[in-house]
């Protein structure tokens, strides 16, 4: 058989290489001998299946499945990718693509949502971090490779994809019919919560995220009222490019380590530091995180937390503390595998632990205050007394510090009002305002 003879020749070549190595005095360790025995076993099984399996088998398919199993059994983030999956991976950080907007991972062999991408069909439909995807278009995800699941959820725009999920505390599976749409490439938006207090939302870390942030920061910092505090929202941010996380952290740090990466090989061990000489930003920062904040967003949160540059508020993050590299292979195949773990400036590994918030605040949407005033609220006040002195005219800037700005027909102000109903954003704003008040009390 041609295929069989090919693998026999291949095995002989491997044996010859070992013999030559020993002939030239090159040390051949016990592990090499063990590897050779395992390869011999692999070829023996392959030949046996080709010869005697009930149906005819394709050798290439068997070998690719073997490589797939070898790589994917290492960890949830390593994978062997066929050409179409390798092309899709490039789209995630570069071009525009159409899909549902779900970032997924394999957790104990189960297809799990890391987070939905804001503004996408999945986000609008109410897919949550931690949801388990059990079916895609009536096909079970059991045994499905990560790239296969991604491939099934991507495709022509506006076509329907039905996914079935299991969610904690839900008695029955939930079925979502979603239409694919273009996944937004912009990853940053901003708003002014109130004069002097900015809001910066980062949904993921793509190739130009640091440039987007620089533009939004310039806009916030050049507002009529000087910036007295900033809320950075990293909730449901699944991460992205390592270099972008480093550059974003560098915006807010003037010195010290941002993140260190430690791998088995010295070439995969590196320490990244903040660059001095930038314009100092003295305003306080509150960073929002949750269970959907992963990877690059955890690097930013960990760096700002360890350097006491920001207060971290919300719920514990996802806990992805590993670094992957992508190696192109011949014929368009690709290999994505883990090369290192990363550590925060203080030396913490957050792998499977996550960033712990300084102040734990669960997510909630606040209801607008429509309740009737209590008896105490209805008590007489100075202004109700007969012949009381009329109040002097005061500057608008002396209004109640926590009152939202007057409503406007502009969409941006409408979004700002919605942010004020977000319990975590509101708590972050209250903290920043309190910080400013105490600074004034202490004469700073």
* Residue 54 structure tokens: 């009930």
> Among the options 320, 322, 336, 422, which is catalytic?
320
> Among the options 306, 317, 322, 422, which is catalytic?
306
**CA angle (116 as vertex; 111, 117 as ends), nearest 5:** 135
Cβ–Cβ under 8 Å, residues 124 and 142: no
The residue behind tokens 């050779």 is: 36
Taking the C-alpha atoms of residue 306 and residue 348, their distance in angstroms, rounded to an integer, is 9
Query: Shortest CA distance to 248 belongs to which of 225, 284, 215, 222?
Result: 215
Instruction: Give the ranges where 208-320 is alpha helix by DSSP (H).
Output: 209-221, 242-252, 296-306
Give the chain's length.
444
Active site residue 306: yes
* Residue 433, C-beta contacts closer than 8 angstroms, at least 6 positions apart: 197, 229, 401, 402
Active site residue 320: yes
Whole-number Cα distances in Å, 200 to 121, 152, 195, 386: 22, 33, 14, 49
> Among the options 98, 115, 295, 317, which is catalytic?
295
Query: Shortest CA distance to 281 belongs to which of 319, 227, 317?
Result: 227
- In degrees and rounded to multiples of 5, residue 209 shows phi and psi of -60, -40
Query: Shortest CA distance to 68 belongs to which of 49, 82, 47, 84?
Result: 82
Taking the C-alpha atoms of residue 217 and residue 161, their distance in angstroms, rounded to an integer, is 38
List the catalytic residues.
Answer: 295, 306, 320
């Amino acid at each position: 058989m041609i295929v069989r003879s090919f693998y026999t020749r291949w095995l002989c070549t491997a044996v010859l290489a070992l013999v030559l190595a020993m002939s030239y005095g090159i040390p051949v360790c016990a592990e090499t001998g063990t590897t050779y025995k395992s390869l011999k076993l692999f070829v023996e099984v392959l030949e046996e299946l080709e010869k005697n399996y009930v149906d005819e088998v394709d050798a290439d398919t068997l070998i690719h499945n073997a490589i797939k199993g070898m790589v994917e059994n290492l960890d949830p983030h390593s994978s062997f990718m066929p050409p179409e999956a390798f092309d899709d991976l490039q789209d995630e950080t570069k071009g525009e693509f159409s899909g549902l907007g779900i970032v997924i991972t394999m957790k104990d062999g189960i297809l799990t949502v890391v987070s939905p991408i804001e503004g996408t069909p999945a986000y609008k439909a109410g897919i949550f971090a931690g949801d388990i995807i059990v079916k895609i278009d009536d096909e079970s995800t059991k045994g499905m490779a990560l790239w296969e699941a991604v491939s099934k959820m991507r495709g022509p725009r506006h076509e329907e994809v039905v996914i079935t999920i299991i969610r904690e505390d839900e008695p029955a599976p939930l079925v979502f019919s979603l239409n694919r749409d273009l996944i937004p490439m912009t990853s940053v938006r901003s708003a002014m919560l109130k004069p002097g207090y900015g809001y910066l939302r980062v949904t993921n870390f793509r190739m130009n995220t640091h440039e987007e942030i620089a533009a939004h920061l310039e806009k916030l910092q050049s507002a009529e009222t000087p910036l007295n505090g900033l809320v950075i929202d990293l909730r449901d941010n699944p991460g992205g490019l390592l270099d972008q996380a480093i550059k974003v952290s560098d915006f807010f740090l003037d010195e010290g380590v941002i993140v260190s990466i430690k791998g088995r090989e010295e070439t995969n061990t590196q320490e990244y530091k903040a660059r001095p000489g930038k314009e100092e930003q003295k305003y306080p920062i509150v960073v929002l995180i949750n269970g959907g904040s992963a990877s690059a967003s955890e690097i930013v949160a960990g760096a700002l937390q360890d350097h006491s540059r920001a207060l971290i508020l919300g719920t514990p993050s996802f806990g992805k503390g590993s670094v992957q590299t992508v190696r192109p292979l011949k014929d368009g195949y690709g290999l994505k595998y883990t090369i290192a773990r990363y550590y925060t400036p203080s030396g913490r590994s957050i792998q499977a632990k996550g960033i712990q918030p300084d102040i734990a605040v669960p997510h909630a949407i606040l209801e607008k205050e429509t309740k009737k005033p209590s008896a105490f609220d209805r008590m007489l006040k100075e202004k109700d007394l007969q012949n009381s002195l009329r109040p002097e005219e005061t500057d608008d800037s002396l209004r109640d510090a926590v009152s939202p700005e007057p409503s406007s027909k502009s969409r941006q102000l409408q979004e700002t009002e919605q942010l004020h109903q977000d319990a975590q954003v509101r708590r972050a704003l209250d903290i920043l305002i309190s910080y400013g008040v105490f600074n004034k009390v202490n004469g700073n």
